[in-house]
Chain A
Amino acid sequence: MGNQSGQSYGLTILSPIINNGSRAAAQDLALRHHLSKLANGEHSPFAKVPGTHFVRLVVMGDVVFVGYPARDEHLKSQYLICTADFDGELDPYLQTLARTIPAELDAIWKHCVGYPGATDPAKFAEYIKKCQVETTLYFSDVNDRTLEQTLKALLVKTAVTAFAERYQGQPASVVQPAFKKFLTELSQTPAPRPGAAGI
C-alpha cells in the first residue's frame, strides 16, 4: 500500500521546525501552543477544505531509543508531522488547500524551515511535496468512499433506522407511500457538514 488506496490519498508530511535555540519565542513551543488552540470537528480549519476526511498535526520533538544499552542520540531537527486522508489526487488537493485556508496554513507552517507561504498555491504544493514521506498505513476507517459519500451514508443510516422504527409492522399500504415520500425527502436532504457531531 502506497500513498493511494483506491480513490483515497494518504498524505504524510514531516516538516522540520525552525531551530532558534533558546530565544524567548522558541518556534517549537510557539507551534505547540498554536496547535493546542486549534478547533476540532466542524470548526476545524480543515473541515472547510473539500474532500478532507482527517487531518492530524503532531510535533515530534525527538525519538528516544528505549532499550539497553541506552543511547544518547537525537534527531537533527524537531518535526511537524501532518497526516491527512482526502479524496483524489495530491496536486489538486494541495492547491485547493492553499486557496481555501491560506492564513490558517501560514499560522501553522510559518514555524517550519523553508516554508514559502500559501499565497502562491504552486509554491505551497511544491514545498509540501518536498516534505512528503511515503504513507504505509491508513487510518483504519478509510474505506475508499469519498467524504461526500461517507457523510451521506451516515445520514442515510440514521434516517433509514428512524424510518424502520416508525413504520415496522405497519401494512404495505401505509409503508409504501411513506417510503416513497421518505426517499424523495432523503434525496433532497444535503449531506451533513464535515465534522458535524451527532450523525
Chain B
Amino acid sequence: MELNLCDLQGFVARGYSGRSFPVASFLLARIHDAASGREFLGRILAEITTGQLWNGKKPGSTLNAGFTYAGLAQLGLPEPTLQSFPVEFVQGMKSRGKILGDTGADDPANWETIWQQDGNVHMWIGIYAESKAALEDRCRKISAAMLETRGATVLQTQEAGALVIGGEVSTKEHFGYSDGFGNPDIQGLCRKPTPGQGKLTDHGKWVPLATGEYLIGYPDEACELPVSPIPYLLASNGTYMVYRKLHENVATFRKFLKERGGQYGGGEKKLAAKLVGRWLDGTPLELSPDTENIDIVKDDARNTNFTYGKDSDGARCPLGSHIRRTNPRDAFGFSGQLVNRRRIMRRGLPYGTYVPDDQPVRDDGEHGIIFMALCASLFRQFEFIQQQWVQHGNDAHLGNDKDPLLGNQCDQDRFVIPGDTTPKNPPFVCPHLPDFVNLLGGEYFFLPSITALRMIAEGGVDPR
C-alpha cells in the first residue's frame, strides 16, 4: 500500500534527525478566536512541511502544527465533530494524571504555569532547523503572521535540540545515553524494513506494523479502523501526539551511579546499562552483555535486532530495564500480538545544555527531554505503556516495581538486576530509587493531515 506522503505532515512521516536539524523550537500558542485563528492557520498553511520526499532539496527549516482539544474548539470546529474525538484526547493529559501516575512530584500543581490551567494551550507549532539563524528566521515569520492576523499568541517558546558534546552534535540525552533507537516500521511509511523495528512474524522475520497503529483512517493490527473523529476526511492521515516536558535530575543520576555503581559488582557503566537495557553508547545488552560495541551501534541491521526469548530470567537485559519494559518484543508470547498494539513513534528531543561528566552539575539546571510520541490511539498505546509498563511491574513479573528511569519512584521503589554466577555479572538490588525524571507539564495534541489543516483553516469541517 502506498501512502499519500504529500498529505502527511513531515513530522508525522519522518523524524527530523539531529544531524540535519540540530535545533528546534516548539511554540505553544493560544488561539484568540475562531475567525482570526483560522486566518492565521491559513497564512502558514503553504509553509507546513509535508511528508513529500526531499530528493536532495532539504529545506533549511521545517514547520508542523498540532492542536489540543481546546484549540480545536477555539477554532470553531462543529460540536458534533468535537464530540466525536476519543475521550482521553477531549479530557487532556492533566485530567488523565491518575492513570498516567502523574502524582506527587509529578502532580500538575508542580507543572509550569502554562499547563496548569485547563485548556490554556491550544496549539503546538514545531520548528526544526539546520542552524540557529534558520530557526530564528522561521520563528520571526510565524510571529509576524500571528501579529498581522491577531490569530494567536505564543505562551511559551520551548527551545530544544541535539546536545552538543565536545563540540560535536550527538544523539545523547543529559544522562549520557544515546537515544532514539528503535521506532516501529509502519506499512506504507518505511521504504526498507529494519530488523527489530516492526513486528516479529512466526518465522522470526521482522515486518512493518499495520498503518492503522500509527495513522488514523487505516486498518490496525486488529484489522479494525481506530476510533476516529468525523468527518473521515478530518481524521484520515492524522495522528495524535503526546507532549511531555521531562526534567532530568542529572546530579541525582550521577550521584546514584557513583554510589550504587561502587556497590554493584559490575561497576558504574554496567549499572547504567542495566537500568536502560543499552550501554551508554547504545549497544543493546541483549547483544553484548559485557561491553560496549560501537560496531553494533552503527549497524542498523543489528542495533535493534534482538529478542528476549533466550533471556527469560533477565540475566543479560533485566526484566525491569527501560527498553525491555516499554517494548517487550517477543517476551509475552502470542506471536507478539499483545505488544504490537502498544507501539508508539518517538520524536523526543533534549532541551538545555549538556554538563560534561567531570563538571559539577545541579538537579535544578536546565536539562531534560521534550518527550513527544505519536500513535493512533492515546488510550490503547501511550496510556497503556505509561500505566502498565512504566508505572507498574506486573506484566514483567515485577510486582509494583516501576521503570527505573521514568517511573514516579517517590524513593520507595527498587530495581532488581538479575545476574548469573560469573563475577562480571552479579545480581544486585537497587533500593530506594530516587526520582530521576520529573514531569513539568504537557498535553495531548491532534496532528491533522494537510487536507484537514486546510479544512480547519477554511472553516470547512462538516460532520454531516
Contacts and interface: CB of A to CB of B under 8 A. Distances in A.
Interface in B304-338: none
Interface residues of A, number: 6
Interface size class for chain B?
under 10
A81 B48 CA distance: 57
A165 B399 CA distance: 17
B263 A161 contact: no
Contacts of B399: 157
A173 interface: no
Interface in B250-267: 263, 265
B416 A168 contact: no
A159 to B, nearest CB: 13
Nearest to B430: A165
B263 A169 contact: yes
Contacts of A157: 399
Interface in A147-181: 157, 161, 164-165, 168-169
B428 interface: yes
Given A168-B263, A169-B263, A161 B416 contact: yes
Interface in B384-437: 399, 414, 416, 427-429, 431
Contacts, number: 15
A168 B414 contact: no
Interface of A is mostly: helix
A181 B456 CA distance: 71
B424 to A, nearest CB: 15
Contacts of B263: 168-169
Contacts of A161: 414, 416, 429
Nearest to B262: A169
B174 to A, nearest CB: 28
A161 to B, nearest CB: 6
B127 to A, nearest CB: 47
Contacts of A168: 263, 427-429
Nearest to A166: B431
Interface in A61-84: none
A169 B266 CA distance: 12
Nearest to B263: A169
A164 B416 CA distance: 10
Nearest to A162: B431
B240 to A, nearest CB: 27
A169 B428 CA distance: 9
B224 to A, nearest CB: 16
A35 B157 CA distance: 53
Nearest to A165: B431
Interface string B184-205: 0000000000000000000000
B409 to A, nearest CB: 15
B160 to A, nearest CB: 38
Contacts of B416: 161
A157 B400 CA distance: 12
A178 B303 CA distance: 44
Contacts of A169: 263, 265
Nearest to B401: A161
Contacts of A165: 414, 429, 431
Given A165-B414, A165-B429, A169-B263, 12 more contacts: A157-B399, A161-B414, A161-B416, A161-B429, A164-B427, A164-B429, A165-B431, A168-B263, A168-B427, A168-B428, A168-B429, A169-B265
14 contacts: A157-B399, A161-B414, A161-B416, A161-B429, A164-B427, A164-B429, A165-B414, A165-B429, A165-B431, A168-B263, A168-B427, A168-B428, A168-B429, A169-B265
Interface of B: 263, 265, 399, 414, 416, 427-429, 431
Interface of A: 157, 161, 164-165, 168-169
Q: Which 6 A-B pairs have the closest CB atoms?
A: A165-B431, A164-B429, A165-B429, A169-B263, A161-B429, A168-B429
